[in-house]
Structure 1
Amino acid sequence: MRIGELSRRTGVSVPTIKYYVREGLLPAGRLSSPNQASYDASHERRLRLVRALLDVGGLSVAAIREVLDAVDDTERPVHKVLGEAADRLAARHVGEPDAALDAARAAVADLVERRGWRVNVKSPQAEALAGALAALERVGHGTFVELLDDYADAAEQVAAVDLAYAARSARREGLVESAVVGTVLGDALLTALRRLAHVDASARAYGDGGQEGPVTREASGEPGAPDGEGRGSGPDAAA
């Protein structure tokens, strides 16, 4: 396909595609003439990966380049590549070390040892967890550390699902890409599901009992409900 078709298929503007090529995020197209280049499905897949890492993952261009370099390095074992990609996706702790952070790091190290996880307690992911625990301590919720094993149980199940999804791809590149995309988009998916579950749990624990069953789009009268359902008052309500 020409670059215009690639742009239409992905929703990414032609100037942006050219910028990604210059920055090494997207391979150049195959020259079909001195002034024309053609692109294929691999370019489309890579372009969608770049947009996912940028728009959903919030990674910088430099970080995306590092992730893509890891994806394309066929000499590194898949486990190492997945670990390096995860390092780039992990949140970085910002701030000076203090007693709260020291205690949180100790709690993370204890968790890793207790559960037998084969991970580096000084990795960016472990530091991100310690940073979150330290922040909880600073705002008066240090007892949250008591829930770590409950959260770890859930995290292990999610990780198994993530890798099972990635393993559907027979290609090494597809495996790594699926794991990276699954981590970025899966975080957004998991957060949204958690928010929904919070609302449901709150309604069950503290609600007034007036609402029974799911509130569907039809029942709520929101835009998009089928004609004749969920309508409110107004001149067309009885039509």
Structure 2
Amino acid sequence: MKLSELALQSRVASSTLKHWIRVGILPPGRLRNKTTAVYDERHVDRALLILLMRDEYRASVEQIRALTSLIDDGTSTLEVMNACQAFALGTPPGSAADPELAEYRERTYELMRRRDWRGCPGAAEQGLVHALATASKVGLDYDVDHLMAYADALEPLAARNVSALGPTGSPDQVARRMLAAINARARQLVAVSSLAHAAASIRAAIERGDAPEDLARPPARG
């Protein structure tokens, strides 16, 4: 396909595609002659991955290049998925060995041991360590029993999500599906958590007598 067709299929302007080629995150096309290059589905997959990273995650060119270079080096699917988690979670470099996080690292390890969860070392494990430390700073200190309660709810969902997404397709397709899923899942979990906290606050206000009994009920079924 020509560059114009690549732009149409990826929904990215030709000028943007040319910029991505210049900065080295989109492979150049195969030269058909001195003035014309042709592109294939590999370029479509890469353009859609870059588009998602740019628009959904506000990723820099350097961040995009780090992931796409890993893919181009022939890295395994599991390693690509781990890199996607590292990027999406935004865990600071060096946190895996930070002695100040030792307490939260041990909580994470204990959770993994109790549930026989694999993935150590890995981006998700390090992300949880950092998240626990961050939560503790604002007064939300979760012990292993709290984490087990979350895991009880999330593990069955995780198995279904993995089955639905699957590791099939090109590395770019796998990375794009995973990053899109992480973003959507995070939004959903935050929204459900926020709804639960709002409901708890309203319930407490009703119990104190500060709010009417029928406050903020959802509409009746039609």
Question: What interval of TM-score do these two structures reach, taking the shorter chain for normalisation?
Answer: 0.7 to 0.9
Moved more, 194-203 or 125-134: 194-203
- In the TM superposition, 1:137-216 aligns within 5 A as 137-143=136-142, 146-167=145-166, 169=168, 171=169, 173=170, 176-198=171-193, 200-201=195-196, 205=200, 206=202, 208-209=213-214, 213=218
Q: Which residue of 2 aligns with 1:233?
A: none
- In the TM superposition, 1:98-137 aligns within 5 A as 99=100, 101-120=101-120, 122-137=121-136
Q: Which residue of 1 aligns with 2:82?
A: 83
State how far apart, in whole Å, the 1-side matches of 2:198 and 2:136 are. 28
Moved more, 111-120 or 34-43: 34-43
Deviations 1:119-159 (A, max 9, x none): 21x43332221111112222222146542112223443343
Runs of 4+ in 1 over 4 A off after TM superposition: 94-99, 202-205, 210-216
CA RMSD of aligned residues (A): 3.3
Q: 1:91 to 1:31 in 2, by over 3 A?
A: same
State how far apart, in whole Å, the 2-side matches of 1:112 and 1:195 are. 23
Q: 1:167 to 1:118 in 2, by over 3 A?
A: same
State how far apart, in whole Å, the 2-side matches of 1:71 and 1:141 are. 37
SS in 2 for 1:117: coil
State how far apart, in whole Å, the 1-side matches of 2:42 and 2:70 are. 17
Pairs aligned (count): 210
TM-score where L is the length of structure 2? 0.74
Higher relative contact order, structure no. (Cα contacts within 8 Å, ≥ 6 residues apart):
2
**Amino acid of the structure 1 residue aligned with 2:112:** V
Unaligned runs of 5+ in 1: 220-239
Contact preservation (8 Å) 1:163, 1:179? no
State how far apart, in whole Å, the 2-side matches of 1:78 and 1:43 are. 19
Unaligned runs of 5+ in 2: 204-212
Q: CA deviation at 1:162?
A: 3.4
TM-score where L is the length of structure 1? 0.70
Deviations 1:96-118 (A, max 9, x none): 9575x221112112112222122
Q: CA deviation at 1:52?
A: 1.0
Q: CA deviation at 1:80?
A: 3.5
**Amino acid of the structure 2 residue aligned with 1:134:** A
State how far apart, in whole Å, the 1-side matches of 2:8 and 2:114 are. 51
- In the TM superposition, 1:32-51 aligns within 5 A as 32-51=32-51
Q: CA deviation at 1:78?
A: 3.0
Contact preservation (8 Å) 1:71, 1:177? yes
Q: CA deviation at 1:195?
A: 4.3
Contact preservation (8 Å) 1:70, 1:85? no
Q: Please identify which structure carries the higher helix content.
A: 2
